[in-house]
Amino acid sequence: MQPNRRSARVKELLKQQVAECIRQELTIDEVGLLTVNDVGIASDLRSATVFLGFVGTAEQRRQAPLKLAERAKRIRMQIAATVRLKYVPDLKFQLDDSIEAGNRVILLLEQLERENPALRVPPQPAEDDDEP
């Protein structure tokens, strides 16, 4: 089902505001580098899951969800003070491993290519759009 325009706008607004609040609330030394990859919102707009990209140490990875959970209420209050919404959703934070998984797949493919050059896909010739 296609999300309606309102929920899409709220999703994008939350993405920007949560990113700004995280930047202000948490230091890189505490939790590593966090980026807001996506925000999933409930259909009633009362709860949201914030998917975060992460770069940092194993200890920072362990601390990031704990620190975010501690500050979720404060971040929500900052959003409420900044944006005008009927309901500011309850926020839940989740580290997003999709980029790391994609990087692992790329590394495996490159390794296979190095081990077996016959697997390489030859470059395709450029097609001219002008010819019939």
Give residue limits of the domains in the chain: 5-118
Which of the listed CATH numbers 1.20.272.10, 3.50.50.60, 3.40.30.10, 3.30.300.20 matches domain 5-118?
3.30.300.20
- Which contacts (CB < 8 Å, 24+ apart) does range 10-19 have? 10/41, 10/45, 10/85, 11/39, 11/40, 11/41, 11/48, 13/83, 14/39, 14/41, 14/48, 14/50, 14/79, 14/89, 15/39, 15/50, 17/78, 17/79, 17/82, 17/83, 18/50, 18/75, 18/79, 18/91
**Residue 49 contacts by C-beta under 8 Å, 6 or more apart in sequence?**
39, 40, 41, 91, 92, 93, 94
Q: What is the mean pLDDT of the chain?
A: 83
| Average pLDDT score over residue span 66-90 | 89
Q: What is the pTM of this model?
A: 0.70
Q: How confident is the model at residue 50 (pLDDT cuts 50, 70, 90)?
A: very high
Share above pLDDT 70 across residues of the chain, in percent, rounded to a whole number: 89
pLDDT of residue 1: 41
pLDDT tens profile 6-48? 888 888 999 999 999 999 988 888 888 888 999 999 888 889 9
